[in-house]
Amino acid sequence: MEDYLGPVKTKKDDLFLKLVKRVRKPDYTMHFMEDRNGRKAMFYNYK
């Protein structure tokens, strides 16, 4: 399993994440992302 979506020092233009799904609740928002290789990531924001 790879820990990062790209190698260290990768140019910003070479990275790509597509927003697959966003869940909005009163206390938080969750963002489900996917890269070009199908690897998934989840980010959240507490309010």
**Contact indicator for 22, 42 with CB cutoff of 8 Å:** no
7-40 pLDDT, tens digit per residue, is: 677 676 666 788 999 999 999 999 999 988 888 9
Q: Is 9 left (phi over 0), alpha (psi -120 to 50) or beta?
A: left
Given a cut of 80, is residue 5 above it in pLDDT?
no
Q: Which amino acid is at 46?
A: Y
**pTM assigned to the model:** 0.66
Which residues neighbour 5 within 8 Å (Cβ) at sequence distance 6 or greater? 15, 17, 35, 39, 41
* Res 4: pLDDT: 58
- Supply the Cα-derived Rg of the chain in whole angstroms: 13
